Amino acid sequence: MLPKFPLSRRQILFLGLSGLAGSAAVTAGKVVNTNSQVQALYNPQRDFKVVGQNSLKQRAASKGIIYGAAVEPEFFQSNTPFRASFLKDCGMIVPENSLKWTQLRPAPERYDFAKADWLAAFARAHGMLYRGHTLVWHNDIPVWFKEVVNRQNAEKVLVDHITTVSKRYAGKMHSWDVVNEAIDPESGRSDALQTSPWLDFLGPDYIELAFRATAAADPKAMLVYNETWIEYDIPKHEARRKATLKLLENLLKKGTPIHALGIQSHLMAHEKGLNPKKLRAFLSNVASLGLKILITELDVIDQQLPADSAVRDRMVASVYEDYLSVVLDEKAVIAVLTWGLSDRYTWHASFLPRSDGKPVRPLPLDFNFQRKLAWNAIARAFDQARKR
C-alpha cells in the first residue's frame, strides 16, 4: 500500500531528507527541485550500448567484483520470472529486512529466523553469497524495546542479540553490516554520533562492542560499518564523510575488528553535487586505512525527474554510470549491491513516491523484469572497471 503524498514528517526524518541541502529543499513535506541538474542530465545522444550477452554478475566477477541485490523471500515465492532474473544477474543476496531486529525479534525472548533462513538456504542452493544487514541500527528498534532495555541490561541485550544472530550464520555469511548509520552531523554532539538508545545506554563504545561481539561469533565474516548520505559534495554529506573517516580511524586505532566501509548510495538524480574528485579522494582515504569498500544499497531517486519513462530511464542510467565510473576506479571497492533489482519491488514506491502518481523507476530492471538503460549503465561500468 502506498503512503499518502506528500511524505509524512516521520518518513522525511527517517530518510534524513531534511538534510538534502544545497540544491533541493523540503517544503511542506515535498522535495522541491531548485536547480538545473535535472535538465542537464538529459542527453539523447549518450550511448548506453553494451557488448556481449553476459549478466551483471558475470561482468562484475570478471573484474573481481561482486554484484548482488537486496530482496525478500516473498518476492520469489509469488513470482517465478523474478526468480529467474535474480538468479541470472545476482551473485549475492542481501535480505532487505529479514535480518533486522524488528523482523527477527517479535518478542524479547523470541527469535523468528524463518525468512532469513529461507534466504540463506536459497543463496546456498544457488551458489550465491549471503550478506547480513544489519545488527545495530538506531532506526530498527522493536516496540517492546522501551519497556525491556535499560542502562543496566543494554550491553547484555546487545551482545546476546549479536551473538545469537551472527552465530546462526557463522561461516556462511560473506559480510555483516554490523553497525548501520551511526553518524548524524546534526546531532549537536562533538563526535557527530547519531542519537540512539544504544548510544544513550552504552555511550560511543557501543560501536566497538558490536564489532567485537560479531567477530567473536563469526570470525570469518567481513565486518562492515555501513553509512548513508555521504556521496555528494553538499555540506551535510561532507560533514558525514569527515565524521565517518574519524570514526573508522578511531575504531582501527583501538584494534576493533572492522574490515570495510559500506556506502549505501541512494543516489539523488536531482542533486548536482556529485564531485568525482572529492568522492574519489574520500574512497582513497578509506582504502588507505586498509579497509575494503562495498557499495551496499545503490539505487537512483527519480522523484523529481520528468514523467516520460524513456526520458527518465535515460537520466537514471546516466546517474548510475557517472557514479559507478568514479567509485569503481578505486580498487578497494569489491562489491556493488543494488537495493532491489526490479522496479516492482522497491522501497521508493512507499518512501519516495512521485507527486504525479507515476510508478518510480530506480532499479536496473523494470516492473516486468525487463532490462532498462540502468542495467546497461551498470554493465558498462563493470566492463570499464579495472580488475581487482
Q: Is 297 in the site for ligand 9MR (CB under 6 A)?
A: yes
Dihedral sign, Cα of residue 17, residue 20, residue 26, residue 31: negative
181 an active-site residue?
A: yes
C-alpha Rg value of the chain to the nearest Å: 20
Q: Is 100 in the site for ligand 9MR (CB under 6 A)?
A: yes
C-beta of 136 vs 251, nearer to ligand 9MR: 136
C-beta of 85 vs 264, nearer to ligand 9MR: 264
Stretch that binds ligand 9MR, among 92-100, 329-337, 352-360, 378-386 (CB under 6 A): 92-100
Q: Is 48 in the site for ligand 9MR (CB under 6 A)?
A: no
C-beta of 262 vs 273, nearer to ligand 9MR: 262
Q: Which residues 223-242 are close enough to bind ligand 9MR by CB under 6 A?
A: 228
* Cβ neighbour number for residue 161 with a 10 Å cutoff: 18
Tell me how far apart the alpha carbons of residues 285 and 288 are, in angstroms, rounded to a whole number: 5
Q: CB of residue 54 vs ligand 9MR: minimum separation in angstroms?
A: 28
**Under 8 Å between Cβ of 37 and 270:** yes
Stretch that binds ligand 9MR, among 95-103, 147-155, 313-321, 326-334 (CB under 6 A): 95-103
Q: Is 96 in the site for ligand 9MR (CB under 6 A)?
A: yes
Q: CB of residue 48 vs ligand 9MR: minimum separation in angstroms?
A: 26
Q: How many residues bind ligand 9MR (CB under 6 A)?
A: 9
Show the cell assigned to 348.
521508493
Q: Is 97 in the site for ligand 9MR (CB under 6 A)?
A: yes
- Over the window 343 to 382, marking each residue x when it contacts ligand 9MR by CB under 6 A and - when it does not, the resulting string is ----x-----------------------------------
Question: For residue 248, what are the CA distances in angstroms to 243, 282, 384?
Answer: 9, 12, 30
Exactly one of 96, 297, 321, 330 is catalytic; name it.
297
C-beta of 95 vs 273, nearer to ligand 9MR: 95
Q: CB of residue 130 vs ligand 9MR: minimum separation in angstroms?
A: 16
155 an active-site residue?
A: no
Q: CB of residue 197 vs ligand 9MR: minimum separation in angstroms?
A: 16
Backbone conformation region of residue 130, classed left if phi is above 0, alpha if psi is from -120 to 50, else beta: beta
C-beta of 9 vs 156, nearer to ligand 9MR: 9
Give the residue closest to ligand 9MR by C-beta.
347
Q: Which residues 125-184 are close enough to bind ligand 9MR by CB under 6 A?
A: 140, 180
Q: Which of 11, 175, 264, 376 binds ligand 9MR (CB under 6 A)?
A: 264
C-beta of 297 vs 376, nearer to ligand 9MR: 297
Q: Is 303 in the site for ligand 9MR (CB under 6 A)?
A: no
Q: CB of residue 26 vs ligand 9MR: minimum separation in angstroms?
A: 16
Stretch that binds ligand 9MR, among 27-35, 94-102, 146-154, 167-175 (CB under 6 A): 94-102
Q: Which residues bind ligand 9MR (CB under 6 A)?
A: 96-97, 100, 140, 180, 228, 264, 297, 347
Question: Catalytic amino acids?
Answer: 181, 297
